[in-house]
Chains A and B, each alone.
Chain A
Amino acid sequence: MLSPETIKAQVESLVPGAELVVVPNGSTDNPGALLVRGEQAVAVARALREHPALRLDYASNVTGVDWPDQVLREKHRIKLIVEGEEREFEEERERRVPGYLEVVYHLYSMALGHGPVVLRLRTGNRNDQVSLPSLTPVWRSCELQEREVFDLFGVRFEGHPDLRRLLMWEDYQDHPMRKDYSDPDDYEYEPTAHDRVLARSRARQGEGAAS
C-alpha cells in the first residue's frame, strides 16, 4: 500500500487546487489519514476511485466522530510594573478551541486487494456549519452509513439522494452520538387526555380540587 504522503502527492497532481493534509495516527494500525476540505471531497473521492494505482472501488466504513469545543488553559508570562519596578508574573488565560464533527471513510480496493486509505472530512463547527458533501454518488455503500451519521451526529450531507434519519424516528430532535448528548426525560411524550381531565375538573370544582 502506498504511503499517505505519496497518495497526497498523486491526488494533488490529479485534482487541480486540491489540498490534502496527512493526519498522523498514534497506533501502528495505519500510517495516517488524509484530511480533505469539504468542497474538494467529491473530486478527490473520484480521483481515488479512478486512479489506476489506487482503484479504491470500495468504501467499507463510514462513520462520524464528535470533537466538542475545548477550553485550554495556558500559562503566559507577563511583565507588569509594580511599585515602580518591573516584575514578571504568570497569568493563566483560557483559550477556546472550536470543536467540529468529523466524518471518516475507510476505503479499500477490491480490484487490487489493498487498503485501507482513510479519508477524513471536517465540518466548520458543531452548530450551524455542519454541511459536508455526500460521497454516495461515488460509492453507494455510503448511502445508509451517511444517513446514520446524519441521524446520530447531525452532519448534513449535501447531494445525498435520501437524507433521512436511519435509526431514530423522524420527529426526534437530538443527535445521540454527540459527546454532550443527554437523555431526554421522556422519549415519546404525547399529551394524553389526563391533563385535559384535570383542567376540566379544576374549572368545575375550583382550584385545588383535583391536584
Chain B
Amino acid sequence: MSRTGEFEPLTVPGESGAGEGQDVLEVAMGPHHPSTHGVFRMDVAVAGERIVRLKPVFGYLHRNHEKIAETGSYLAAMPYTDRLDYFCSLTNNWAYALAVERLTGLRPPERAEYIRVITAELTRLQNHACLVGFLAQDMGASGTPLMYAFREREKILDLFESLTGSRMMCNYMRFGGCRCDLPDGWLDQARQLVADFPRFLDEFERFLADNEILMARTQGIGVLPPELAINAGVTGPMLRASGVNYDLRKVDDYGIYHRFKFRVPLGDHGDVYDRYMIRVLEMRESVEILHQALRDIPAGPILDPKSKPRGFRPKPGEAYGRIEAPKGELGFYLISDGGSNPYRYRVRPPSLINLTVLEDMCLGQTLADVVVILGSVDIVLGEVDR
C-alpha cells in the first residue's frame, strides 16, 4: 500500500532541461536510507540521472506531539519539547518558555536571560558543527569530519550534563527563568571551551572550505533564489545563505540579544556551498556572543518570583513566541482558555517548512546531489513529524 498515492502517468517535463523522451525510473529514497537522517522518504522520479520529480513523504515519526501537550499541564509539555529537535533541546525549551511568558507576562531575571543566551549559543555551536560533519559524511567523507565535530559536541554536551543533568534531553528552562543555577566552576569551563573553539573552527575550515571535492559537489548545486525562499517561508541559515538578511535575534530582539555585538553572515549564491559556509560563519559569531555573555553574566536570582510550578493557569488569550533556533524560526502558538492545560498548542517546525522547497532545489540535479541538498537543509525528523 502506498502512503502517498501513486504517481500519475509521467511525461517528462521539458523545462528541467533533462531527460526528454527518456524512460522515467521511480525510486523511493528512504524511509531507511542513511542520508535522510532519520525516517523520511522521498519519492523521486529520475530520467537518466536527472531528477524530474520529487515528493517528500512525512509522518513516519509522527506521535501527535501537539495533542499530547494539549492533554497535560503547561509545564508537562516542557520535557516533550526536548524531543522535537533532539539535537537542540535547549532552544526548544526557550521557544516554548518564551511563548508562555508572552502569554502570561512573566519576565525572566537578568541572570536567567544570560544563561539562556549562553546555552542557546552553545546549542547552535554543536548543531552547526555536527551539520557540517554530516554534510561531509553525505558526500562520502566517511566518518572523519563527523568525528571531529562530535569530539567538540562531546565537550558541549558535558557542559549541558553538569548543568541540567542530561546530555540531550535537558528540560532546563522554566516559565520566567531556568530550573537551576549554574554549578560551581561551570562558567570557567564554558569560558575555556569557548576560548578553544576557534582553533577547532580554523582546523575544520582549513580541511573543508577549499577542499576540491567539497567545492565540486556543492557549488552551484541546489540553488535557492531569495524570492522563492521568502515566499516559501524558509528560515534560518538556509534563508540567509540565499542572501536575505533576516535573523530573529536582530529582528525580534527577544531575550537580551540587543546587548551583544555580532554580525549576520549572508550568502550570495544560495547553493549548498553557501549553506555550508553560513554555518561556519555563524559559529564564529556565536563564539563572539558567548565571549560577551560569559564576560557580563551577573549574579542574582534565576526565576521570576511570580512563576508558579503548581496551579499555573494563564488568563484566556493567545500568544505566539518565536526564536532563532539553529535550524530556523521555531515558534510556539498557544491559546489559553483559562484552564490548567493549553487549549491549543502548536509548534511551528522550521525543519518541516524548510522542506517545502526541496523539490524546487532538486529538479534537474542528479540523484547523488539530492543527498547533499537534503543534508544542507538540516532537518531533524523528530521535529518534522512531531
Residues on A lying within 8 angstroms of B by beta carbon are 25-30, 57-61, 63, 65, 104, 106, 110, 113, 116, 118, 139-145, 152, 164-171, 176-177, 181
Contacts and interface: CB of A to CB of B under 8 A. Distances in A.
A144 B353 contact: yes
Contacts of A167: 58-59, 62, 64, 385-386
B3 interface: yes
Contact of B58 (A25, A139, A166): A166
Given A26-B318, A116-B320, A170 B333 contact: no
Interface in B92-149: 102-105
Nearest to A106: B320
B244 A61 contact: no
Contacts of A57: 230-231
A65 B231 contact: no
Given A27-B103, A167-B62, 7 more contacts: A26-B316, A27-B105, A29-B103, A104-B333, A140-B357, A141-B356, A166-B58
A89 B233 CA distance: 59
A145 B351 CA distance: 12
Contact of A60 (B58, B102, B322, B343): B322
Contacts of B26: none
A26 B233 contact: no
Contact of B233 (A59, A118, A168, A177): A59
B385 A110 contact: no
A28 B101 CA distance: 10
B86 interface: no
Contacts of B211: none
B191 to A, nearest CB: 34
A57 B239 CA distance: 14
A106 B344 CA distance: 15
Contacts of B333: 61, 63, 104, 106
A207 B343 CA distance: 53
A13 B171 CA distance: 49
B331 A106 contact: yes
A141 B3 contact: no
B322 to A, nearest CB: 7
Contacts of A29: 102-103, 317-321
Nearest to B346: A63
A90 B331 CA distance: 49
How many interface residues does chain B have, given as a range?
35 or more
B1 interface: yes
A170 B244 contact: no
B62 A168 contact: yes
A140 B357 CA distance: 9
B85 to A, nearest CB: 16
Nearest to A26: B317
B325 to A, nearest CB: 13
20 contacts: A27-B336, A29-B102, A29-B318, A29-B319, A58-B233, A59-B233, A60-B233, A61-B346, A65-B343, A110-B246, A113-B251, A116-B320, A139-B233, A141-B234, A144-B353, A144-B355, A164-B5, A166-B59, A168-B59, A169-B59
B228 interface: yes
Nearest to B104: A27
Main secondary structure of the interface of B (DSSP, over half): mixed
A28 B336 CA distance: 13
A202 to B, nearest CB: 30
Closest 5 CB pairs of A and B: A141-B233, A26-B317, A27-B317, A29-B319, A140-B232
A175 to B, nearest CB: 11
Contacts of A65: 335, 343-344
B96 to A, nearest CB: 14
Nearest to A181: B67
Contacts of A144: 58, 352-353, 355-356
Contact of A170 (B3, B58, B105, B317): B3
A110 B230 contact: yes
B192 interface: no
Nearest to B64: A176
B233 A30 contact: no
A176 B67 contact: yes
Contacts of A145: 353
B315 A27 contact: yes
Nearest to A148: B352
Name which of B228, B329, B333, B385 has the most chain A CB atoms within 10 A of its CB. Answer: B333
A25 B317 contact: yes
A4 to B, nearest CB: 13
A144 to B, nearest CB: 5
Contacts of A58: 230-231, 233
Contacts of B346: 61, 63
Contacts of B321: 29
B314 interface: yes
Contacts of B231: 57-58, 139-141
A139 B231 CA distance: 5
Contacts of A170: 2-5
A152 to B, nearest CB: 8
A143 B315 contact: no
B348 interface: yes
A65 B320 CA distance: 14
Nearest to A169: B3
Contacts of A27: 102-105, 314-315, 317-319, 336
Contacts of B285: none
B66 interface: yes
